[in-house]
Amino acid sequence: MRYKSRRSKLFIVALLFLFPLLGLSQVPERVPKPDFETDYIRPDFLTPTPRATALEYIDIGVLIVALFLATYFAHKQRSRQNIFLLMVFSLAYFGFYRKGCICPIGAIQNVTYALFNPAYAIPVFVIVFFVLPLVLALFYGRTFCAAVCPLGAIQDAVVLKPTNVPGGLAAVLSVLPYLYLGLAVLLAATGAGFIICQYDPFIGFFRFGADFNMVIFGLSMLLLGTVVARPYCRFLCPYGVLLNWMSRLSKRHVGITPDECNNCRLCEESCPFGAIKKPDEAAPPANREAEVKKLAFIIVLLPIVVFGSGWIGSRLEIPLSRLHANVSLAEEILLENSGQRTELTDETKAFRASGKPTEELFAEASAIQRQFKVGGWILGGFIGLILCLKLINLFMRRRQSEYYVDKGTCLSCGRCFSYCPYEQVRLGIITPKEAEKMGSKEVKIKQFRA
C-alpha cells in the first residue's frame, strides 16, 4: 500500500516536471518586445483572457465551497485523505483550468494598487479572493493553504521525503516572506509592477509556457520541495505572512489530538513544516535573569534598528525606482540626450514619436522617485521591526505542558492526525486502553516531571 502511494507520487512528480518542458518548446517569450518598423506581428497574449462576469461569479462560488469543505475536512472530519482530494481538485481548477489567475497571493498587489491609485477599479472577484481566505483564517486557521491554494497544492504533491530545516536557518529564511511582501506592496503602490505575478515560479506549469528562467526557477522549487516541504509557502509566500497573522488569532484551530494529549511523542516528527512544538517542560531550565536582560536590551534597541533599516531602505530609492517603466524610460532618454548612448531603444523611439515633452517625463520620474524614497523608509522600518520581533520571540517563554501546533505556521494539512493514538481511538482502530498504554510506554516527559 505504502509502495503504491510512493509510486503514484513519483508519477505525479514526473508529470509536473515534464509539463513545463512541453510548454517551453511552444512558447517563445511571455511578452516579446514589439518591433515598430516593419513586418510587425503582434504577439498573442499568454496571460489568460479575462472571463465573462458570470464565470467570475462561478469562480467565487467554487472558492467559497472549496474553503468551506477544507474547513469541514480539517476541523470536523479530521480527514487527511479528503483534504488531499480537495487539494487535487484545487490544483486542477484554480491551477490548470484557471491558469493560476486570479489567486489571493497576487491579489495583494491589486488591493494595494487600488488603495493607492484613485483611478484603478479593482474587480469584485479579486476583492473576494483576497478577503475570504483571510477572514476564514481569522476564525479557523489556514485551511486555505491546506487544500485550496493551487501553489501550495503543486508543492504538496511532490513532497517525497521531507527533512527538517535547522532552526537557525528556518528563522533566517522566515524573514524572506516579509521582505517579499514589503517589496510587492511598494512596487504595486507606486505602479511599478506586479512582481508576485512576474516571479511566480509555478505559473509556467499552469499555463504550459513561461520564460526559460522562470521554468528553471519553478523546477528548482519543485525539486527542493521533494525534500523541504512547500519551500515557496514557507520561505517566500507573501500571502502566507498575512494568513500567519490572522491564524495566530484564530478562534478555532485544528489540534493534533481530538482528545487530551498524553505526551506520547508519536506526532513529534509528523509535521514536515515544523509546526509542532514541544512542551516547555521538556526543555532544559534556562537562566531566566540573563534572558530577561537580553530581552530588555532588544526592546531598547528596537527603535534604533527600525530607524536604521528604514534609512537603508530609503537609500534604495534609485535602484528600486528603476523598476518603474517611466523612471527607466526617463533615464534612457537622459542618456540619449546627453550623447552617452547613440542607439535608440524601442521604448525611447515610441516616446519620441508621441511628441510628449521630456520635461514632463522627467517630472513624472522624479515624483515616482520621491514615492520610492518614502516607501523605502517604510519598507526598511517594517523589516527592522520584524527582525526585532523575531528576536523578542526567541526570549518569550510560554507555559505549555503538552505538544501543540504553532497556529501561525500550521497549514491545517492534517498530516499529524493519524499519528495521535486518540485519533486512532476515535476512528475505532485501537481501544482507549491501548492508547493509554502507548502514552505511558513512550512518554519521558511525565517521568521527567515526576
Q: Where are the alpha helices (DSSP H) in 190-287?
A: 195-198, 203-207, 212-225, 231-235, 238-248
Residue from the set 85, 134, 302, 323 that interacts with other proteins by CB under 8 A: 134
Q: Is 11 in the site for other proteins (CB under 8 A)?
A: no
Is residue 443 a contact point for other proteins (CB under 8 A)? no
The whole-angstrom separation of Cα 7 and Cα 1 is 10
Question: Where in 316-345 is the site for other proteins (CB under 8 A)?
Answer: 325
The verdict on 354 binding other proteins (CB under 8 A) reads: yes
254, 79 Cβ separation under 8 angstroms: no
Q: Using an 8 Å Cβ cutoff, are 171 and 164 in contact?
A: no
Question: In the complex, what is the shortest distance from the CB of residue 201 to other proteins, in angstroms, rounded to a whole number?
Answer: 16
- When binding is defined by CB under 8 A, the residue of 169, 249, 363, 429 that contacts other proteins is 249
Helix (H, G, I), strand (E, B) or coil at 287: coil
Strand partners, 404: 277
Nearer to other proteins, 43 or 319 (CB): 43
Q: Which three cell numbers stand for residue 286?
A: 534556562
Sign of the Cα pseudo-torsion (260, 264, 265, 270, in order): negative
Could you give the CA distance from residue 398 to residue 265 in angstroms, rounded to a whole number?
A: 19
Residue ranges in 186-215 that form contacts with other proteins under rule CB under 8 A: 188, 191-194, 197-198
Please report where in the chains the cell 540619449 appears, as a residue: 336
Range 281-289, long-range pairs (CB < 8 A, 24+ positions): 281/401, 281/445, 281/448, 281/449, 282/444, 282/445, 282/448, 286/397
Instruction: Please tell me whether residue 356 binds other proteins under the rule CB under 8 A.
Output: yes
Q: What's the sign of the alpha-carbon dihedral 269, 254, 108, 122?
A: positive
Q: How far is the CB of 54 from other proteins (least distance, A)?
A: 14
- Least Cβ distance, residue 84 to other proteins (angstroms): 29
For residue 396, state whether it binds other proteins (rule: CB under 8 A). Answer: no
Whole-angstrom Cα distance, residue 395 to residue 378?
Answer: 26
Name the segment binding other proteins (CB under 8 A); options: 104-112, 216-224, 275-283, 427-435.
104-112
Q: Which of 124, 160, 304, 389 binds other proteins (CB under 8 A)?
A: 124
Q: Helix (H, G, I), strand (E, B), or coil: what is residue 277?
A: strand
Binding test (CB under 8 A) with other proteins, winner from 86, 105, 108, 126: 126
Stretch that binds other proteins, among 41-49, 220-228, 270-278, 423-431 (CB under 8 A): 41-49
CA distance 221 to 237: 12
Q: Does 433 bind other proteins (CB under 8 A)?
A: no
Binding site for other proteins (CB under 8 A): 31-34, 36, 40-43, 45, 47, 49-50, 106, 109-111, 113-115, 117, 119-124, 126-128, 130-131, 134-135, 138-139, 188, 191-194, 197-198, 246, 249, 251, 325, 347, 350-351, 353-356
